[in-house]
Amino acid sequence: MDMTSRMASHFDDAIDTFRTSAPALSTLLSRAVGLLFGALANNSKILACGNGGSAADAQHFVAELVGRFERDRLPLAGIALNTDTSVLTAVGNDYGFDAIFERQVAALGQPGDILVAISTSGNSANVVHAIEAAHDREMPVIALTGKGGGKIGELLLDSDVHLCVPHDRTMRIQEVHILLLHALCDGIDALLLGDTL
């Protein structure tokens, strides 16, 4: 395969993944929007976490909430748990890397808050522990995974929402994850601003 064909194949595979994901995830996305909007409307907050590219996605999502998405509105309460280097290094040093999100959920989470947990494999130990801590705090979880959902898929409750991208390749999963997060932002804004733009 020449390089041009190789590059073109990425577009074809991404398009196929988006098309497969739409019917699988649209209803679940709508449910997730309802959970997020309900929490924000009741003065609760959204905590988000992930590692690597998923950390970037968590930070991006929270930036859209606290700043704005496509239209001006009041800032919304969100915290990306992977951004405070002092907390991450202190907890990682004293308790281990697997505890870096769990300790923050235990410290900051309250019943009614929501954890947005992102792991392409569904097996990130620190994200798994964050979900366990969220359940202990009576917080619903919206999990973004792929590759069948992994350990996270087995851990989630009926009150949670599992957005599992039907693909096994990390880059394709991450591409859909950013679409899912943008769709969540759009849905929240539509409910907040009373329209269906």
This prediction has a pTM of 0.96
Distance of alpha carbon 125 from alpha carbon 148, whole angstroms: 16
Task: State the amino acid at position 136 in one-letter form.
Answer: D
**Residue 196 has what pLDDT?**
52
Strand 114-118 and strand 161-165: the pairing is unpaired
From the list 43, 1, 13, the residue with the least C-alpha distance to 170 is 13
* Cβ pair 120, 177 in contact under 8 A: yes
Please list the rounded mean pLDDT of every run of 10 residues in the chain (197 residues).
94 97 97 98 98 98 97 96 98 98 98 98 98 98 98 98 98 98 97 77
Q: Can you give the pLDDT at residue 192?
A: 92
Q: What is the dihedral of CA 31, 37, 41, 42, to 10 degrees?
A: 50
Question: Given this model, what pLDDT does residue 1 score?
Answer: 78
pLDDT at 131: 98
Instruction: List beta partners, residue 182.
Output: none
Check residue 5 and give its pLDDT. Answer: 96
Q: What sign for the dihedral angle of Cα 124, 129, 134, 140?
A: positive
pLDDT at 195: 76
Q: Find all residues with CB under 8 Å of 185, minimum gap 6, and list them.
A: 61, 64, 65, 69
- CATH code, domain with 39: 3.40.50.10490
The residues, ordered by sequence, that sit 6+ positions from 22 with a Cβ below 8 Å of its Cβ are none
Q: Which domain holds residue 69?
A: 3-193
Domains contained in the chain, number:
1
Sheet order of strands, 161-165 included: 78-80, 46-49, 114-118, 141-146, 161-165
Can you read off the two tokens belonging to residue 112? 């009614």
